[in-house]
Chain A
Amino acid sequence: MDFGQLKSKRRTLSSAFNVNPEIKKSVNLDGVNGFHSFYKMPPSGSITLQQFEYYALERLKVLKAIELNNVLKGKKFKEYCDEMRDEFRNLGWQFLCTDRLSKEDEEKDLVSHHILRLAYAKSEGKRQWFITQETELLKLRMMFSNSLLNRLLEVNQLSSNQVPAEEINELTDELRGCQTGFNMANAVYYKVDFEEVLQLVSSRKVYLSQGYAYLPASELQSFVLNKYKIHLKEQLAMACKLMPGLEEENRIMRQLKALSGGDLGTGYTTKAVGDKITCDMLDQLSLRSYPLCMQTLHNHIKVKHHAKHEGRMQYGLFLKGMGVSLEESLKYWRTQFCKGGIDTEKFDKTYAYNVRHNYGKEGKRADYSPFSCLKIISSSEPKGDECHGCPYKHSDELSLRHLLEKRKISAEATEEILGLKRQGHYQVACMSLFKATHPKEGLHGGLQHPNQYFEESQTILSGNSETSDSKMTADSSEKETAGKSNDNKENIQDIEDEFDDEM
């Protein structure tokens, strides 16, 4: 494919690659010493379709590796870095760990980034996934390279905002309160608009005065990452807007679509709704096959006959994911809420809409997917007497212990789970519960989704693993790619699979 040609033929593609003409003027095409600062430049020149696909696939493997390791992260940071360094080397991307990039590496880096940017522009979920992994990649590259951070700071012209020593002196108490290990002697601070360091603002790790954040030199990295995130977000939003103009270029669109596959963040598609599961079966099912988060919600509703909005979303979509029909769902919620003193009329007026909305029958009629573990862990935490969320993350130890006691697992398993909770390995903790409550081995290839937990549990408990109708991407990929990929590591097999149906 010829990028140059495409550019003249369809201006949209080039503008999708880089939508801001001003940036084009201000940044040197050669980038900063071999590293394209924030990939502001769109690539130009020609590559073959094979190369297009190859580059993109390769980078996707890198990003997938990052995602996988990030989820299981929790080792010492150094170990994590070492592991990632090995990982990149195995994938043939060792240049990510160096300062100097060859011409070829540089092209690979730049082109693959921009192709994926297009591929992942389509939906909010995909954009989020892409941004998360790319940001983590830049973070790792800054760890590996000694000079990268400084070069990026130069580009961002930060040195002019350094806080004078006298001012730091006066603010000693304030600054100390924001930072562990604050040391007057070598305190260097930069004054930046609070909007430039949102992460530090939300975690209260920075001193704020009159809208300015006092950014410690030690946080410069996070500053750069935040800027990068914002930059990507803008660029992806723009690319998304320009995508319709690309639709005619069929070959490319097909590939781009295939590249991003299903929503990688969820990795789960709702099963065809059947009438297999009725709401009077839920009590029984919840005892052994529900992950702890859903069991907690189920029991909460059973006792209180009510749940707040977030809880209704989390559990309601899970039920949908299990294959509970809309009618059964409505019946379940109505029965429960009516026991709690809400009459049928009020239920139909206030809550039924929500249930139908979840099934895509109201509003913009979107077919909402059940929440993945990642979403449950990272999105809005419960407050007050709410009990949605992930019990491994959102419960204190004592409450979690009580919850586990009801599952009647061994003391050993309980301690193991509590230990994992303490270290922040929430999904691994959940897998341990699965292991402790099921015969046979644990879950296939990690736990990403409550519905995956449920389905695998059902498969094992019914003793019928062959006819599993689980639709986890990870699962199906194992079956389908078995014959094809011989040199790929397990953790990236699913990437290949996502290509199969489309190309």
Chain B
Amino acid sequence: MAPAVEVSNSWDSSLMPELLPIYYKKLFPFTQYFKWLRYKESGPNYFKNREFSFTLKDDIYLRYRSYADQAEMEKDIRSKCPYKIDIGAVYTCSPKLRDMVRAGEFVAQYKELVFDIDMTDYDDVRSCCSGADICLSCWPLMTIAIKIIHRALTEDFGFKHLLWVYSGRRGVHCWVCDEKARKLSAAARAAVAEYLSLVKGGANMKKKVILKYNQLHVSIRKALEIISDYFDDYFVNRQDLLSTEEQFQTLKGLITDEQVLALIKELEDTDGFGETSKLRWACLKGIFCKRMSSEGSVCTSAPLHEMPHNMKEIMLQYTYPRLDVNVSKGVNHLLKSPFCIHPKTGRVCVPIDINHVDTFDPFKVPTLHDLTEQLAVWKGEGNLLDYKKTSLKPYIESFEKFLTTLSKHNTESDNIVMDTTA
């Protein structure tokens, strides 16, 4: 069984008031941040009409803050030193002036299409920890989720500018920044989120994934291919999810295929399944293989994603991404900003490079404490930008890379528009 300990960098949240001013003064990437949210091509009011909201010490909540430019934003953030910054929608007018327009004229117009995946939603399929805790045994769930959602958003929906961010504690966020995504209606956002939701039902619905027999949507097929790379290792080695009789019963409760149930009975009456997750899982896979052969397919060891549909349902129930759809639906829904500090862990909400998502380790993400220490002990060159003296450097560089593609693409599409009009 995997160790159920959180590898925690010691963090004392009472340090926040002391360290946050340093972070906002020296490290927070205001320039890049402004460059992102300005969306140059979308007109001068885009940044001005954007809502920011702060959570200050003792949960004091300030909504509807907005700024004319980078300088004004810097000044406000530095003076308030928010524990948390949320980014909201771009409104029809500047949020700070909302009381000066008639009711009904202050409306959320645009926002990135966002997704929030939270480890708490996986409590019924992880044995290592629960609630807000995470560990390296359950983190692969996030890796799988990122890969599946990323593939669907880019290939199926054609979006190009996805910013993945570690939420600082127990989950990840995705910001889809394409112009088309920012303009989506609430209904369209809901539809995209639904398209990506497969695991349904609460406490009274044991079987949470039901697929149509003999018909598999290509997005699910591709998700299964991704899951196949992780499933055995995750299920058996990291989570050990069949070691108790109760866990084994839970899984058997998901099997609806009569023939498979008969084969299970048969094995139980003869050799038995064994006692460990490894043995039990191997036996089950064998049974599903047998089931396939009975349908005419020759199978000794089929890849997981080609298993019979009942097996697919099981794999999906254990590992398919579980989105908090309410966050995605509303245009005006707020989401924690990248590069915030998570008050409970002290970790920075850093971008996750999709090309290196497999090696992303949430416990190696720098904490506010780490960063200020690194600054303090820095002995090298003096005129270097402060963030480059710290372990925040690769994350800011990854963010810059994202911004370069974003602006390059937008200039390109500008040119195309100009070409056609010329």
Contacts and interface: CB of A to CB of B under 8 A. Distances in A.
Interface of A: 173-174, 176-180, 194-195, 198-199, 201-204, 207-212, 230, 241, 296, 300, 349, 380-389, 391, 394-396, 398-400, 403
Nearest to A311: B202
A383 B187 contact: no
A203 B194 contact: yes
A296 B199 contact: no
5 contacts: A201-B195, A210-B158, A211-B157, A387-B202, A394-B202
B191 A300 contact: no
Nearest to B329: A380
Name the 9 nearest CB pairs between A and B, nearest first. A382-B202, A211-B158, A202-B194, A395-B204, A210-B158, A198-B191, A399-B204, A386-B202, A208-B156
Given A177-B221, A380-B326, A383-B200, A396 B157 contact: no
A203 B191 CA distance: 8
Contacts of B220: 204
Contact of A396 (B121, B207, B216): B207
Contacts of B269: none
Contacts of A202: 190-191, 194-195
Centre residue among B191, B212, B325 by max chain A CB count within 10 A: B191
A201 B191 CA distance: 6
A107 to B, nearest CB: 32
B326 A178 contact: no
Given A204-B219, A385-B124, A198 B188 contact: yes
Nearest to B198: A204
B155 A394 contact: no
Nearest to A391: B204
Contacts of B123: 384-385
Nearest to B156: A208
Interface string B282-298: 00000000000000000
Nearest to B184: A195
A177 B204 contact: no
A403 B205 CA distance: 12
B206 interface: yes
A178 B159 CA distance: 21
A209 B191 contact: no
Nearest to B180: A211
B271 interface: no
Nearest to A234: B185
Contact of B219 (A208, A300, A399): A208
A204 B180 CA distance: 21
B295 to A, nearest CB: 18
Contacts of A391: 204
The secondary structure that dominates the A interface is mixed
Given A204-B220, A398-B206, 7 more contacts: A177-B218, A177-B221, A201-B195, A207-B217, A209-B158, A386-B203, A396-B206
Nearest to A204: B217
Contact of B155 (A210, A241, A382): A210
B59 interface: yes
Contact of A177 (B120, B192, B195, B215): B215
Contact of B215 (A180, A380, A396): A180
Contact of B205 (A195, A380, A394): A394
Contacts of A389: 202
B104 interface: yes
Interface in B153-169: 155-159
B360 to A, nearest CB: 25
Contacts of B120: 384
B191 A383 contact: no
A213 to B, nearest CB: 9
A388 B202 CA distance: 8
Interface in B60-109: 104
A305 to B, nearest CB: 15
A387 B202 CA distance: 6
Of listed A180, A203, A396, A400, residue having the most chain B CB within 10 A: A396
Contacts of A382: 201-205
Nearest to A399: B204
A396 B104 CA distance: 43
B256 to A, nearest CB: 11
B201 A194 contact: no
A349 B59 contact: yes
A293 to B, nearest CB: 11
A208 B157 contact: yes
B157 A403 contact: no
Contact of B217 (A177, A212, A381, A395): A177
A355 to B, nearest CB: 18
B191 A399 contact: no
B322 interface: yes
A384 B121 contact: yes
Contact of A209 (B156, B195, B199): B156
A78 to B, nearest CB: 23
A199 B190 CA distance: 10
A178 B217 contact: yes
A212 B204 CA distance: 37
A165 B156 CA distance: 21
Contacts of A383: 121, 199-202, 322
Interface in B140-162: 155-159
A384 B201 CA distance: 7
A98 to B, nearest CB: 32
Contacts of A381: 200-202
B83 to A, nearest CB: 15
Contacts of A204: 195, 217, 219-220
Contacts of B158: 209-212
A394 B104 contact: no
A384 B206 CA distance: 10
Contacts of B218: 173-174, 177-178, 207
A178 B211 CA distance: 12
B229 to A, nearest CB: 21
Contacts of A241: 104
Interface string B337-376: 0000000000000000000000000000000000000000
Contacts of A199: 191
B124 A396 contact: no
